[in-house]
Structure 1
Amino acid sequence: MGLAGRRRELGYSQEQLAQTLGVDRTTVGRWESGRIAPQPTQRRGLAATLGVSLQELDALLSPSRTADRKEATKQSGDHPSAGDLDEMIRREFLRILAISGALAALPADEAEALTAGIRRGAPADFDRMNRHLWQVYQLARSKGAVYPIVRDQLTTLNQALAGSRGNAQPLLNAAADLFQLAGEVAFDANRYSDAAASYMLAASVSKDAGAYDLWACALVRHAYVDMSEHRHRQAAQMLGVAEKLAERGDRTLSTRQWVASVQAEAYAGLGDLDACERALDRAEEVRHLPEGSANGGWLRFDGSRLAEERGARYVQLGRLDLAEITLREALQQAALAPGQSFRRRGAVLTDLAAIGVKRRDPEQAVAYGKEAVELARASSSGYVVRRLRDLCDEFGPLSRDHRMAELGAEVAALNTP
Structure 2
Amino acid sequence: MGLAERRKVMGYSQERFAAVVGVDRTTVGRWDRGETTPEAIHRPKMAEALQLGLAELDALLTPPPADFPECTASPPCDRHGSEGIDDMIRREFLRIMVVAGSLTTLAPDDADAIAEAVDRGSAEDFRLMNGHLWQVYQLARSKSSVNTVVKDQLGALNEALKESSRAGGLYEVAGDLFQLSGELSFDGNRYTDAAASYALAAEASSHARAYDLWACALVRHAYVDVYERRYTEAAETLDVARRVAKRGNSALSTRYWVASVQAEVYAGLQDLGACEKALGEAQRVADLATPVHPGGWLRFDGSRLAEERGARYVQLGRLDLAEETLRRALETKTLSRGQSFRRRGAVLVDLAAVGAKRHDAEQVVTYGGEALRLAKKTGSGYIARRLQALQGDLRTCRRNRRVVELNAEINAL
TM-score (norm 2): 0.69
Match of residue 124 from structure 1: 124
What is the one-letter code of the residue matched to 1:182? Answer: S
Match of residue 352 from structure 1: 351
1:78-136 deviations in whole A, cap 9, x for unaligned?
Answer: xxxxxxxxxxxxxxxxxxxxxxxxxxxxxxxxxxxxxxxxxxxx211111111111111
**By how many angstroms is 1:284 displaced?**
0.6
In structure 2, what is the Cα distance between the partners aligned to 1:174 and 1:334? 34
In structure 2, what is the Cα distance between the partners aligned to 1:307 and 1:397? 27
What is the one-letter code of the residue matched to 1:321? Answer: D
In structure 1, what is the Cα distance between the partners aligned to 2:336 and 2:367? 20
3-state DSSP class of the match of 1:169? coil
In structure 1, what is the Cα distance between the partners aligned to 2:294 and 2:248? 14
What is the one-letter code of the residue matched to 2:211? Answer: Y
In structure 2, what is the Cα distance between the partners aligned to 1:403 and 1:336? 26
Q: Which runs of 5+ in 1 are unaligned?
A: 1-69, 71-121
Is 1:177 the counterpart of 2:166? The answer is no
Match of residue 163 from structure 2: 163
> Is the CA contact (8 Å cut-off) linking 1:334 and 1:345 kept in structure 2?
no
**By how many angstroms is 1:228 displaced?**
1.0
TM alignment of 1:208-287, pairs within 5 A: 208-287=207-286
In structure 2, what is the Cα distance between the partners aligned to 1:337 and 1:135? 21
**By how many angstroms is 1:410 displaced?**
1.4
In structure 2, what is the Cα distance between the partners aligned to 1:350 and 1:336? 14
1:203-230 deviations in whole A, cap 9, x for unaligned?
Answer: 0101111111111100000001011111
When residues 304 and 335 of structure 1 are mapped into structure 2, their CA distance, relative to the original with a 3 A threshold, is: closer
TM alignment of 1:8-407, pairs within 5 A: 122-165=122-165, 168-335=167-334, 340-407=339-406
> Is the CA contact (8 Å cut-off) linking 2:198 and 2:218 kept in structure 1?
yes
> Is the CA contact (8 Å cut-off) linking 1:139 and 1:339 kept in structure 2?
no
> Is the CA contact (8 Å cut-off) linking 2:211 and 2:244 kept in structure 1?
yes
What is the one-letter code of the residue matched to 1:367? Answer: T
3-state DSSP class of the match of 2:331? helix
What is the one-letter code of the residue matched to 2:346? Answer: A
Q: Report percent identity of matched pairs.
A: 62
In structure 2, what is the Cα distance between the partners aligned to 1:169 and 1:200? 20
By relative contact order (CA 8 Å, sep 6+), the higher-ranking structure is 1
> Is the CA contact (8 Å cut-off) linking 1:206 and 1:212 kept in structure 2?
yes
1:129-178 deviations in whole A, cap 9, x for unaligned?
Answer: 11111111111111111111111101101111211235x33211111000
**By how many angstroms is 1:335 displaced?**
4.6
Q: Which runs of 5+ in 2 are unaligned?
A: 1-74, 76-121
**By how many angstroms is 1:339 displaced?**
6.0
3-state DSSP class of the match of 1:394? helix
**Greater gyration radius:** 2
**By how many angstroms is 1:272 displaced?**
0.3
**By how many angstroms is 1:409 displaced?**
1.4
**By how many angstroms is 1:397 displaced?**
3.7
1:13-52 deviations in whole A, cap 9, x for unaligned?
Answer: xxxxxxxxxxxxxxxxxxxxxxxxxxxxxxxxxxxxxxxx
3-state DSSP class of the match of 1:294? coil
In structure 2, what is the Cα distance between the partners aligned to 1:384 and 1:331? 15
In structure 1, what is the Cα distance between the partners aligned to 2:145 and 2:152? 13
3-state DSSP class of the match of 2:286? helix
> Is the CA contact (8 Å cut-off) linking 2:135 and 2:296 kept in structure 1?
yes
When residues 179 and 366 of structure 1 are mapped into structure 2, their CA distance, relative to the original with a 3 A threshold, is: same
1:264-284 deviations in whole A, cap 9, x for unaligned?
Answer: 000000000010000011101
> Is the CA contact (8 Å cut-off) linking 1:223 and 1:235 kept in structure 2?
yes
What is the one-letter code of the residue matched to 2:215? Answer: A
> Is the CA contact (8 Å cut-off) linking 2:231 and 2:265 kept in structure 1?
yes
What is the one-letter code of the residue matched to 1:147? Answer: N
> Is the CA contact (8 Å cut-off) linking 2:335 and 2:344 kept in structure 1?
no
